[in-house]
């Protein structure tokens, strides 16, 4: 019995000594909860810029800028009174974009330079009166053909408004479209005004990549020799662009009349 007691005492003594000599363990804190914020709400209306009437069935998209990994951008349609609501929105920084038939796509607070305002949504916040006024625009549409007069898909077409400044041009892309619909047509929406139409850039198919040399209506690679097209409110301008291309090479676009085959005169 004494031996057992002595041995036990030594074990306890050694255990206590080791415990006293061991370094202090750092305090483990629970991970920070990044998902404890309450969802918020963003709502507003879409109106016509000219008459102030509500625009029904316009597509409103909520794009998140921070944080960037919140999944797909939610979309909704406006009601008969032009209203829209995004519920259960994760706190963050957003921009709101609207597109509607016969109107120019617009971002909330978008100024002359085309940069929309951002909206910061905090935990549980409800942001109202995000009202956007759409400008009724015109449509520039047509078809892109290759050298064999076959329709070509996925060729980018843009309408450019040009500001003349000392030292050269400053180009501003107003609208863009790809000839990718079932009829191989392109469709560019633009505010009323004067524009240069440019086609070209990269086209990628499942097997090979093609590069189109950028060219302007009515068939020139130089902006100085391009002809402007006038766009009026809710007026459609039809143009046909013909392109030739080689893999990774240069093609040139040419706008021609679909009936006569001759270059078209500028509109407006």
Among 83, 114, 134, identify where a domain stops: 134
More confident residue, 6 or 159: 159
The better pLDDT of the pair 94, 246 is held by: 94
pLDDT score recorded for residue 139: 79
Looking at the structure, do residues 57 and 114 belong to the same domain, yes or no? Answer: yes
> Same domain for 161 and 232?
yes
The answer to whether residue 50 scores a pLDDT higher than 80 is: yes
Domain end: 134, 162, 197, which one?
134
For residue range 116-140, list pLDDT tens digits in order. 899 999 999 999 999 999 988 777 8
Average pLDDT, the chain: 71
Q: Check whether residue 158 and residue 248 sit in a common domain.
A: yes
Query: Is 236 inside a domain boundary?
Result: yes
CATH number, domain with residue 194: 2.60.40.1120
Residues of the domain holding 81: 40-134
Tokens at 232, concatenated? 């009026």
């Amino acid at each position: 019995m004494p031996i057992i007691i002595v041995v036990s005492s030594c074990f306890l003594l050694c255990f206590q000594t080791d415990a006293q000599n061991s370094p202090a363990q750092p305090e483990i804190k629970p991970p920070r909860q990044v998902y404890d914020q309450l969802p918020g709400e963003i709502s507003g209306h879409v109106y016509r810029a000219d008459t102030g009437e509500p625009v029904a069935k316009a597509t409103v998209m909520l794009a998140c800028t921070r944080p960037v990994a919140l999944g797909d951008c939610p979309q909704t349609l406006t009601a008969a009174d032009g209203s829209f609501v995004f519920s259960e929105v994760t706190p963050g920084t957003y921009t709101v974009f609207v597109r509607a038939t016969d109107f120019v796509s617009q971002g909330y607070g978008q100024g002359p330079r085309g940069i929309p305002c951002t909206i910061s949504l905090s935990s549980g916040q409800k942001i109202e009166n995000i009202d956007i006024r759409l400008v009724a625009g015109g449509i520039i549409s047509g078809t892109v053909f290759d050298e064999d007069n076959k329709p070509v898909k996925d060729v980018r077409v843009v309408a450019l408004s040009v500001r003349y400044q000392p030292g050269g041009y400053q180009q501003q892309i107003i609208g863009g479209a790809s000839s990718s619909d079932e009829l191989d047509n392109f469709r560019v929406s633009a505010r009323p005004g004067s524009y240069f139409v440019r086609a070209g850039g990269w086209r990628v198919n499942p097997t090979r990549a093609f590069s189109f040399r950028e060219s302007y209506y009515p068939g020139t690679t130089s902006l100085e020799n391009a002809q402007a097209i006038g766009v009026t409110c809710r007026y459609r301008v039809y143009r046909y662009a013909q392109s030739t291309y080689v893999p990774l090479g240069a093609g040139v676009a040419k706008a021609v009349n679909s009936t006569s085959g001759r270059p078209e005169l500028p509109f407006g």
